[in-house]
Amino acid sequence: MYGQVCVFRFNKIGPTKSKEKIFKVSHPRKVLIKKSRCSSTLYKIIKSDLIKLHIIQFLIDTLLSKWECGLISFSKKGGFMTASEVLKVLRDEKVRFLRLQFTDILGMSKNVEVPESQFQKALDGEIMFDGSSIEGFTRIEESDMLLKPDYSTFRIFPWIEKGGRVARIICDVYNPDNTPFSGCPRLALKKIVQEAHELGFNLMAGPEAEFFLFQKDEHGALTTRTHDAAGYFDLTPVDQGEAARRDIVNDLEKMGFEVEAAHHEVAPGQHEIDFKYADALTTADNIGTFKLVVKKVAQDHGLHATFMPKPVFGINGSGMHVHQSLFLGDVNSFYDENGTHELSKTALHYMGGLLRHAKAFIAVTNPLVNSYKRLVPGYEAPTHLAWSLKNRSPLIRVPAKRGQSTRCEVRVPDPSCNPYLGLAVMLKAGLDGVKNEIDPGDPVNKNIYKMSQRERARLKIDSAPKDLSDALKHLSKDEIIISALGEHIYGRFVNAKKHEWQEYISKVHPWETERYLANY
């Protein structure tokens, strides 16, 4: 007995003739994907009642990777939205502008906005932009790029902007000949996700992105003055940012987020909003949307939101801990009730891969000069490469919950990183651990901050890179992490970061004049 029938549309490239595609998952789940009789570009998914939606998504991703076709979107009725259905929503909701959103190599969200007259063209993936003007994309002589929309990311912004309602759709970047662009971070993540799928795994990830809300001065310039003196989980009237935080949650929920918690963090002016985990690609998309909403709402409240890792000396910086687990179908493969600490070999080997490649991938997950001002002892940020069941000082912590909630928490990333590249390099590292059965060693449940250097050496606990330059050197030696980025992204990323480092070390900073000017 088959249940729901979902319809989606191919934007197919190449020959139009095709055979019926049948995909089978481990018994008793079975999915049939077949061509519709009414159209050469319509396909049906006939879904078993037992199968989970993320399995369907996996099968579709597999099909899409072979056919180079456009993506689909779940409709409210449980099906998949086509371009024509998205267009109908745009018109029914009287949307005036559509933003075609994409991300550059450094993680900055970009967009090309089109008016109503261009909606059809945009949804057909025919909008071009000048890639030479985007950091790390292309040279001037090869600048034209195409934006191919992912219909599943279509959302209408919950606020009304001047000139009319605005929607957005996230896009992959393609070359003018309709081939995938090797410099697109979203496509880089999709490549590693596909590698996981070929092993039968689906990475589920849940981020905890922290941020600061700062005041502006009387001229509208940014400051690092906080709007409160609150601490961890404090309530009003001490926490004056509660109103802004509540509006952020409201807008996120209107855009389809399932917000699990929102609270004040340790430092004054610091906040955290946690949303439900999802597959890697959806999580990366959600992080970008989250940052956009936070900044927009803060601006509406006369504040400035920043995801800078360490904006103020002497207080906690902002991290983005990422909870991770690999699923086989709808089963969490990290859990084994008979395993050591109730962890499966897959979980242990995944953490082994993370630890082995951490020195290299930290250049990507912590990409700023400022990122390493956060990674110092005493401020709840990891400085050493180890894993633990209890304390929060190592790189990886395994929370106490087991069963379907079994996961590892990678505590080193910060919210300035490109979410697509950050997830890509961590997933690649973990998969390398699974493939090669890398042993993570024993958990370290003592406070590493308080250990002597001799004790850390005895336990074989290595240190994280001390600065951006150090991290880039480790990245240059790790072929696994380089392969996750691809030649184009790796080259452009490293060149940009080396320039950033050289500019930083050549500048004279206030600390230097305060320390040396009067004494020398």
Q: Catalytic site residues? A: 130, 208, 210, 265, 272, 321, 392, 409, 411
Neighbours of 514 (CB within 10 A): 9
Contact residues for 60 (Cβ-Cβ < 8 A; gap 6+): 8, 33, 45, 71, 72
Using alpha carbons, select from 244, 217, 234 the residue that is nearest to residue 268.
234
* Residue 241 to residue 170: CA distance in whole angstroms: 30
* Residue 30 to residue 26: CA distance in whole angstroms: 8
* Residue 476 to residue 491: CA distance in whole angstroms: 10
Number of helices followed by number of strands (H, E) in the chain: 14, 24
Query: What DSSP string runs through 86-148?
Result: HHHHHHHTTEEEEEEEEE-TTS-EEEEEEEGGGHHHHHTT-EEEEGGGSTTS--GGG-EEEEE
* Residue 364 to residue 386: CA distance in whole angstroms: 19
Measure the CA dihedral 168/186/369/376, to 10°.
Answer: 100
Amino acid at 394: P
Each residue of 5-25: b (16+ CB within 10 Å) or e?
Answer: ebbbbbbeeeeeeeeebebeb
Distances from the Cα of 170 to the Cα of 73, 102, 110, 151, angstroms = 12, 6, 10, 8
Cβ(261)–Cβ(254) below 8 Å: no
Cβ(47)–Cβ(5) below 8 Å: yes
Amino acid at 127: I
Helix/strand/coil percentages in the chain, nearest 5? 35, 25, 35
Distances from the Cα of 245 to the Cα of 99, 207, 486, angstroms = 25, 17, 38
Cβ(362)–Cβ(464) below 8 Å: yes
H or E element that contains 362: helix 345-365
